[in-house]
Amino acid sequence: MSDAVATREALRVVGQPVARHDARDKVSAATAYAADWALPGMLHAAVLRSPYPSARIVRLETKRAAAMAGVAIVLTAKDVPRNTLATDVPGQTTAVGPLRATLHVLAEDRVRHQGEPIALVAAETLELAQAAVEAIEIEYEVTQGVFTPEAALAPGAPAVHGPGNQLARWRVARGDVARALKDAAVVVEGEYTTQLVDAAYLEPESGVAWIDSDGVITIRLSTQVIEHFRDVAEVLQVPQNRVRVIGTYLGGGFGGKEDVTVEAYLGLLALKTGRPVKMVWTRQESLLSRAKRHPYRLRYRTGANANGEIVAQQIELLADAGAYAYLSALVLLYSTVTAAGPYRVANVEVDARVAYTNNPPTSAMRGFGAMQTVFAYESQMDRVARTLGMDPLALRRVNALRRGDTLPVGQVIETHVALPELCEKAWAALGPPAPPRAPHLKVGRGLACNFQPYGRIVWLHDWASAWVGFEMDGSLVVRCGCPDVGGGQASSLCQIAAEVLGVPLTRISVHVSDSALTPLAGTTTASRQLYMSGNAVLKTARELRAPLLRVAVTLLGGDADELDMDEGNVMTPDGRTLAIAELLRECARVGVPRSHLGVYHAPAGEPVDLARGSGKVFPDYTFGAHAAEVEVDTETGVVRVLGYTAAHDVGRAINPQSVEGQIQGGAVQGLGYGLMEEVVVEDGINLTTSFATYLIPTAADVPDVRAVVVESGEGLGPFNARGIGEPPIGPPAAAIANAIEDATGARLTRLPITAERVARGLGLLA
């Protein structure tokens, strides 16, 4: 297409910080979230969950509970048509062997983690449902559990599933690490430990299901993946076209709503009772039983030359999958590919393993394995800089990847890497250093870089579809299966359609996230949605536009390539206009469609042998650099973040305000990860099942985050955009650790960096 649309100067809507349509609804609480829904005759559901991390179910009797007044039904595993599922990567239609996982809807004879679901109750009120749950008679025989990956992989460890407890292993080997380390001028060794954390979205898992008038089991819930209708259909043993998932605007997702959460239960209960059923998890339930972020042990040996060139990375990763696999193998893959950081390193060895334990299961969470490694590789970089007496920015500049470099897995970097520019800008944006307020308060600064894949691994042959169509009056409808997690996913699609078709935003309505009524676009995860559904809408809008303009030529004369669409009109170069509504009437007369369904296929690849370093894994990466200024109270260990900047190359900012918001929000989540968040589990028992004990940052805990948006103009998304959902969460923990070392000389290697850990690091508790 002759692209008046493609050149930067001509963009009218894309690139503007337009107010989002959903923001207006949300400020007046007009948005109906999943729990803001009630139907006549609706039942309320509750779940019986295991209090033990490892046990056999010796006796399970539900008759008494089922007979209670107001209780409609009690279900256990035997009532589930297909209780055990093999699941692929959510939302994908291509399977990749090692990434398949097994899921039980309800526990059968064993429970493997505290909080594992065993039975479902539906009753007239939530109170009655909870009382019935407590009336279920159940006896357990507690069995020996295993609670660290190290112990799980040791010989003779209790088997969580099959013997051995190793769920997955990925290895990368490039060059000759042993020799390079031997010859290196300096070798820095470090062991880093990251913790179990929760997505902690403010909206708990919620949904309502009912059987529609045409017999379709309809589930309206808060989810990042509407394609789970297929999993629900398999659980219920009904054809896939008899299950419909309507995804609501989420009150936060962050990966925690990527797996099946309430939908299988709701589908079951609605099918078996014939009535609408609502399920809303309590915060305690969510914190207890929802899958979390993998904790890691990361061991690094980094070798460098005297001039700062990183010559070798020898890396060992060990992650905790908890009791069920979910997405652990894929998370580990992300860690493996990113373990050496966004740097050019000739000799790399990565040995990454993830093990089953009887801890809470771990799965997707923003950053997805590529986040935990940042803490390790950026801590190592700063330590190398310190050892060499080199400026940390200079060290990054020396080693930063460039277009044409090859990652350890064999993937060639094909787009611009703005890392040096990002480092300079992030650092400069901190401004003049804060003067120390008192002798015991030490101020320091730290830098951390990262790269995060965006888009699915290419072996999954990702695709997304969209429908764009005009109404007869020239207003526009966009339909796309893309769930909106609050990052402006839906409104970006409107901006893209507005740009191509010249329709004012106020005349565009968008329908998202309905598996029966909107073309499927895949998951809102993996920083893929702008790339995929954005490209789908872009492609679809262009494919719709071309034939329309050919009809316009018959009315206006001239060349289709020279016509413009703007303000609801078609325009010739000499200023003559044709209202869209008039054009559409002519299109109807001559049989040219005013709507179009399009599909975008991401460039695909075949699975590579990582160990042989042979190829492309991810479509592309988003690079970032953050800088932090901290004040450490050297008497108590308390760390205050005085200033924080976050720079990312987003290719092109479709909506700059949304992009800043993603960067700021991700950075603060990362600060929470770095400073205070921890799911504390002792022998499989979760001790942080309330918001009073699981702490996330408040407005008073973090400073303003200065987002620095760099637009290199190179990205695979629409208008050369890159994904930005996940990248900002990676650097903060390392930036803080580096800043603390700058301030005090103490190196913290265990997350979260609590005041007590800093105090110990400063030798205050000798």
Partner 1 sequence: MIARLVLNGRTREVEVRANQTLLELLRDTLGIFDVKEGCDEGVCGVCTVLLDGRPASSCLVLAAGLRGSAVTTLRGLERNGGLHPLQDAFVRHGAVQCGFCTPGMLLTALAFLERQPRPDRAAIRAALEGNLCRCTGYTKIVDAVEAYVRESHA
Partner 2 sequence: MYPFEYAAAATLDDALGLLREHGDEAKVLAGGQSLIPILQYRLARPRVLIDINGLPLGDIVFEDGRVRLGALVRHHQLEESDAIARRCPVLGEAARLIGNVRVRTLGTVGGSLAHADPAAELPAVMTALDARLAVAGPSGRRTLAARDFFTGLLTTALAPDEILTDVEISALPAHGWAVEELSRRAGDFAIVAVVALVSLDGRGHVDDARLVFGGVADRPVQARAAEDALRGREPSTDALARAAQVARDALDPPSDAFVSGAYRRHVAGVLGRRALTRAVERARR
Which one of partner 2, partner 1, none interacts with residue 361, CB within 5 to 8 A by kind? none
Nearest distance in Å: CB 241, partner 1: 31
109, 189, 606, 756: residue in contact with partner 2 (rule CB under 8 A): 756
Binder of partner 2 out of 636, 657, 709, 713 (CB under 8 A): 636
Partner whose footprint covers residue 24, from partner 1, partner 2, none (CB < 5 to 8 Å by kind): partner 1
Task: Answer yes or no: are the C-beta atoms of 323 and 359 closer than 8 Å.
Answer: yes
- With CB under 5 to 8 Å by kind, the binding choice for 759 among partner 2, partner 1, none is partner 2
Instruction: Assess contact for 414 and 458: CB atoms under 8 A.
Output: no
Query: What is the Cα–Cα distance from 44 to 129, expressed in whole angstroms?
Result: 7
Does position 69 interact with partner 2 (CB under 8 A)? The reply is: no
- Using CB under 8 A as the binding rule, whether residue 127 contacts partner 2 is answered as yes
Span of 308-316, 411-419, 498-506, 676-684 interacting with partner 2 by CB under 8 A:
676-684
**Would you count residue 16 as binding partner 2 (CB under 8 A)?**
no
Nearer to partner 2, 285 or 649 (CB): 285
What is the C-alpha to C-alpha distance for residues 116 and 661, in angstroms, rounded to an integer?
Answer: 35
Q: Is 193 in the site for partner 2 (CB under 8 A)?
A: no
Q: Does 240 bind partner 2 (CB under 8 A)?
A: no
Let me know if 592 is exposed, middle or buried by CB neighbors in 10 A (0-12, 13-18, 19+).
middle
Is 670 a binding residue for partner 2 by CB under 8 A? The answer is no
487 or 715: whose CB is closer to partner 1? 487
Residue appearing with tokens 């987002």: 707
Please give the size of the binding site for partner 2, defined by CB under 8 A: 26
Give how far the C-alpha of residue 31 lies from the chain's centroid of Cα atoms, to the nearest Å: 23
- What residue 397 binds from partner 1, partner 2, none (CB within 5 to 8 A, per partner kind)? none
Judged by CB, which is closer to partner 2: 23, or 755? 755
By a kind-dependent CB cut-off of 5 to 8 A, residue 203 interacts, out of partner 1, partner 2, none, with partner 1
Q: Are 671 and 641 in contact (CB under 8 A)?
A: yes
Q: Name the minimum Å distance from CB 287 to partner 2.
A: 11
Nearer to partner 2, 354 or 702 (CB): 702
Please report how close the Cβ of residue 26 comes to partner 1 at its closest, in angstroms.
3
CB closer to partner 2 out of 590 and 765: 765
Q: Which of 390, 579, 599, 695 binds partner 2 (CB under 8 A)?
A: 695
Q: Does position 284 bind partner 2 by CB under 8 A?
A: yes
Interface with partner 2, residue 638, by CB under 8 A: yes
Choices 304-312, 374-382, 508-516, 635-643 (CB under 8 A): range interacting with partner 2: 635-643
Residue 318 has, within 13 A of its CA and on its CB side, a CA count of: 17
Q: Whole-number minimum distance, CB 196 to partner 2, in Å? A: 13
Q: How far is the CB of 114 from partner 2 (least distance, A)?
A: 15
Q: Write out the E strands in 398-507.
A: 441-454, 463-470, 476-480
Closest CA to 433 of 625, 626, 629: 629
Rounded least distance, CB 601 to partner 2, Å:
46
Annotate 514-583 with DSSP letters as a single string. Answer: BTTTS-----S-TT-HIIIIIHHHHHHHHHHHHHHHHHHHHHH-S-GGG-EEETTEEE-TTS-EEEHHHH
Do residues 235 and 267 lie in contact, with contact meaning Cβ atoms separated by under 8 Å?
A: yes
Q: How far apart are CA 120 and CA 111, in angstroms?
A: 15
Stretch of 50-58, 168-176, 330-338, 684-692 lying at the interface with partner 2 (CB under 8 A): 684-692
697 makes contact with partner 2 (CB under 8 A): yes
Minimum distance from CB of 491 to partner 1 (Å)? 11
Q: How far apart are CA 139 and CA 478, in angstroms?
A: 53
- Burial group, residue 507, by CB count within 10 angstroms (0-12, 13-18, 19+): middle
Residue carrying the six token digits 């103490």: 746
- Of these partners, partner 1, partner 2, none, which one is at the site of residue 475 (CB under 5 to 8 Å by kind)? none
Interatomic CA distance for residues 230 and 247, integer angstroms:
14
* Nearest distance from C-beta of residue 200 to partner 2, angstroms: 13
- Told to check if 3 binds partner 2 by CB under 8 A, we report no
Give residue 137's Cα distance to chain centre.
Answer: 39
Which residue number, 93 or 657, has a Cβ lying nearer to partner 1?
657
Q: How far apart are CA 749 and CA 730, in angstroms?
A: 16
Contact between 148 and partner 2 per CB under 8 A: no
Closest residue by Cα to residue 503 from 531, 530, 477, 465: 477
Residue 676 Cβ vs partner 2, minimum distance, rounded to whole Å: 5
Q: Which is nearer to partner 1, 254 or 600 (CB)?
A: 254
Residue 514 C-beta: closest distance to partner 2, Å: 34
C-beta of residue 495 within 8 angstroms of C-beta of residue 533? no
Q: Which is nearer to partner 2, 189 or 635 (CB)?
A: 635
- Computed on alpha carbons and rounded to an integer, the radius of gyration of the chain in Å comes to 27
Shortest separation between residue 626's beta carbon and partner 1, angstroms? 12
Name the residues that contact partner 1, by CB under 8 A.
17, 19-20, 22-29, 31-33, 35-36, 38, 127, 200-204, 249-252, 254, 280, 282-284, 485-488, 657-658, 660-661, 664-669, 690-692, 696, 698-700, 702, 704-705
With CB under 5 to 8 Å by kind, the binding choice for 69 among partner 2, partner 1, none is none
Residues in region 698-737 near partner 2 by CB under 8 A? 698, 700-701
* CB atoms near residue 634 (< 10 Å): 19
Q: Which of 1, 178, 546, 764 binds partner 2 (CB under 8 A)?
A: 764
By CB under 8 A, is residue 204 in contact with partner 2? no
Q: At what angle do helices 419-428 and 392-399 cross, to 10 degrees?
A: 160
Cα–Cα distance between 706 and 512 in angstroms, integer?
Answer: 31
For residue 661, how many other CB atoms are within 10 A of its CB? 18
Query: Of 20, 303, 759, 761, which lies in the binding site for partner 2, with binding defined by CB under 8 A?
Result: 759
Could you please report the per-residue DSSP string of 281-339? --HHHHHHHS-BBPPEEEEEEEEE-TTS-EEEEEEEEEEEEETS-TTHHHHHHHHHHHT
- Residue 561 to residues 13, 113, 504, Cα–Cα distance (Å): 20, 62, 21
Nearer to partner 2, 240 or 693 (CB): 693
**Closer by beta carbon to partner 1, 129 or else 200:** 200
Q: Which does 36 bind (CB under 5 to 8 A by kind): partner 2, partner 1, none?
A: partner 1
Asked if 320 and 362 count as a contact pair (C-beta separation under 8 A), the reply is yes
Distance from C-alpha of 498 to C-alpha of 311, rounded to nearest angstrom: 49
Q: What does 35 bind: partner 1, partner 2, none (CB cut-off 5 to 8 Å by kind)? A: partner 1
Single out the residue of 609, 612, 680, 745 in contact with partner 2 (rule: CB under 8 A).
Answer: 680
Question: How many Å apart are CA 733 and CA 446, to the nearest integer?
Answer: 10
First and final C-alpha spacing in the chain: 70
Would you call 390 exposed, middle or buried from its count of C-beta atoms within 10 A (0-12, 13-18, 19+)? middle
Min dist. Cβ of residue 687 to partner 2 (A): 5
Minimal distance, residue 729 CB to partner 1, in Å: 11
* Residues found near partner 2 in the complex (CB under 8 A): 127, 130-131, 284, 635-636, 638, 676, 680, 682, 687, 690, 692-693, 695, 697-698, 700-701, 754-756, 759-760, 764-765
